[in-house]
Structure 1
């Protein structure tokens, strides 16, 4: 059985800067959490969190323009968003390699807000803390608590194999990772529709 999914087309920060300067039809879609978006984003980008885009990929695909770049913190969530759009029949998207931080490091124009831990850093902290708690708890409280470390390890293995992150999706739903400015699906669709 062969897959019909198209591999995401990657662009680097220099190419995105060139497009931002020379193409009026550029549509940058940021799929990070609201708090991540508030802390650092590309001016004029549309905020469509990955869970929302995943649930409504067909609707969002119908509102997208001809030159679409998906961005996140590192490129991983943007690649996942690309797969959802591809499954909905919209495969003409690009993914920014290295994410918004790479764009900022390359001298791209960004909007900075309050400092915030990126989702990948939060996942590392949560996974590391759970493993440490499992090992220490297994040693001093009950050997059964050592299973926590094994469970986290299994979850990380599945995450790597599927290029998805259940822990990151759970953390994204926590109040600290949400923003008062998070759009509803209807608002995000309206914003995209006004541009398309």
Structure 2
């Protein structure tokens, strides 16, 4: 397990989990949102986005943890992947986290990613472009999509780890610590 993609609906904790996982396994961390979003909420064209992903993967000589969904990038990001970890929290948990995170980000006005100037705002939080609305509208669709992918013949070479609660997520990370301590 050294070429990993962490996926899941917005506000499942993908970034927090992915950073911790990359650190514990001494792997290169790749944040897809940072590669995709340009300044002023402009989207990166696919060919540029895919090239950025390929460039980051090439830098990762020991392996990597890719944080993010972007299913259109599957041919690029899963070209060498060995593991997909799906964080699949219940809808009420995701909704609570999405609202809490958006409010916190809007209040503190920090750039969301290192390579862009994008910030949350209260106006944006309640608009059609909000992460909260995105989570609400994609939660069920994402879940169905990942269930199909787990069972699809073309992805049977990938190890799927399906974590369905914060308790399972915490236990998974703690298990990595226990495995490292016994070596």
TM-score (normalised: structure 1):
0.30
TM-score (normalised: structure 2):
0.32
The structure whose Rg is larger is 1
Q: Which structure exhibits the higher relative contact order, with contacts defined as CA atoms closer than 8 Å and separated by 6 or more residues?
A: 2
